[in-house]
Structure 1
């Protein structure tokens, strides 16, 4: 069984402590906004303020989950956890996305009820609290921006905060419209808009994290192309029993059985393995390769074996 690792340590691993610290700051800021907005929403009677608070609270949860996942992902592997906690962040992204969708549905139901009987809203309070939301979320967004590009978990946290900031801006505009024009229907309309946006954002993340958890082949990888490329190497006869999956954001694994035309020595196999690794790493971004060499063995020769 040839097995190898190609490691690239370039993405976002330079300041693990910073990532954690920035998350902690964002968590506290969001707890603060949530409490202020819940109290404000209840006093002012504004549903959009409450929906923004709920949105912020879903953020607090997601940030806490992201923080824990971030810590777990660093824990070493052991004999009973051979991959360590490398998937913690993917599960965190999945949980976050699911939570977003549920929150959104609750908000939509509330908004529809509010459309049927509009209520007066104390707009001054709404305006001040939405400004607080904009300031705190804006600050958090800046803190997490750098890590968001390289990491699904941090990206989920970043998106949460960004949508929050947008929602707070919308609530601010709504507050101003209610104050000067008495347009109280703006309140449930905004709530609806925030909720629909939550579903839209959450769905994509849910899909991505589900693909990884289900061990689906990453979308960018074409298995057939890999098989053709490996088959070109002498003296390989065929490639079968192929599995390609993504462990987490940094690791993609390929596992395959390879039939040889001749009974080669192990040292020759090692040289061929090197070539296979180079090929799949540079052209397909696969950094863990596990090959089972075979000669004249009677097993299924299909590329994808239904075990």
Structure 2
């Protein structure tokens, strides 16, 4: 079975990834403190907005770090499916927080459009340039990990967004220095807010799908899967089908199988398991076998 992995010995790659995440958290928290101080001193809302977004990234990395470690725990009596969904839950928390922050920044940016304040352009440009370097370093630290989980992918995209935000702040600070155009600061704040909202929406959709036990969007069409199973010799009907993700990278299938009276249940089960693994890469399946004598009454093809 695919769940019989050994979890008792630390994975060197996982530990190395944890260290990279730890370094990324440290540099992002340091950058956030510097940006907030500089934003208050300079009067730049855009710089404070970028700092708050950066802080959310640091907190996201903290949650991701905790979730990565928790997800590696083996199944136990209280969590019989294991802890793999810890990272999915953490991703939901991260994206929800980002959406709230982005809406707050949008409200502040709109208020500044009608009440612009004086801004120290040089402080904005210098601090944003430092932020751009640190955001780029952080993105490089977690780039490899971004393919492993929703959390790390979100953190990577957030750091890319931070880098782009820093570029926007540098441009805004330069325009303030050259033309004293104070409205550029709230305009950039609104742009950063919109960018965060857009990426949060794109990121939260697959997270919700996993938590809602949706059919995997990268898997085969459900009808194709059912048709292939029904083609197995000895299978009369299939109903109560559930195809879902137990964790981000692990799909599962549950179904009731009505077998022909003369069929060998053990052979049918082995044939179905082999089909699901070899053709559809479904290593976790729970199949309940029925005969015509004890079959479900008026069963639904999909779900209960």
Query: 2:255 corresponds to which residue?
Result: 256
Query: 1:232 corresponds to which residue?
Result: 231
1:119 to 107, 117, 120: 117
Residues 199-218 of structure 1 aligned to structure 2 (within 5 Å):
199-218=197-216
CA–CA separation in structure 1 for the residues paired with 2:113 and 2:175? 17
Paired residues of 1:66 and 1:153 also in contact (CA < 8 A): yes
Aligned-pair CA distance for 1:168: 0.9
Query: 2:68 corresponds to which residue?
Result: 70
Structure of higher RCO (CA pairs closer than 8 Å, 6+ residues apart)? 1
CA–CA separation in structure 1 for the residues paired with 2:25 and 2:267? 51
How many residues are matched? 297
Aligned-pair CA distance for 1:263: 4.6
After superposition, what is the alpha-carbon deviation per residue over 1:2-45, rounded to whole angstroms, capped at 9, x for unaligned? Answer: xx548999xxx871011111110110011011000110000000
Please report the RMSD computed on the Cα atoms of aligned residues, expressed in angstroms.
1.9
State which drifts further: 207-216 or 285-294: 285-294
Q: Which consecutive residues of structure 1, in runs of 5 or more, have no partner in the other structure?
A: none
Is 1:29 equivalent to 2:27 in the alignment?
A: yes
Paired residues of 1:262 and 1:295 also in contact (CA < 8 A): yes
Paired residues of 1:174 and 1:190 also in contact (CA < 8 A): yes
Is 1:276 equivalent to 2:289 in the alignment?
A: no
Aligned-pair CA distance for 1:241: 0.8
Which runs of at least 4 in structure 1 moved beyond 4 Å after TM superposition?
Answer: 6-9
* SS of 1:241 mapped into structure 2: strand
Residues 81-96 of structure 1 aligned to structure 2 (within 5 Å):
81-96=79-94
Aligned-pair CA distance for 1:209: 0.6
After superposition, what is the alpha-carbon deviation per residue over 1:158-200, rounded to whole angstroms, capped at 9, x for unaligned? Answer: 1111111111111111111111221111111110000000000
* SS of 2:143 mapped into structure 1: helix
State which drifts further: 295-304 or 63-72: 295-304
Aligned-pair CA distance for 1:285: 3.4
Paired residues of 1:239 and 1:301 also in contact (CA < 8 A): no
* SS of 1:217 mapped into structure 2: coil
Residues 152-167 of structure 1 aligned to structure 2 (within 5 Å):
152-167=150-165
* SS of 1:15 mapped into structure 2: helix
Aligned-pair CA distance for 1:287: 2.3
Is 1:294 equivalent to 2:276 in the alignment?
A: no
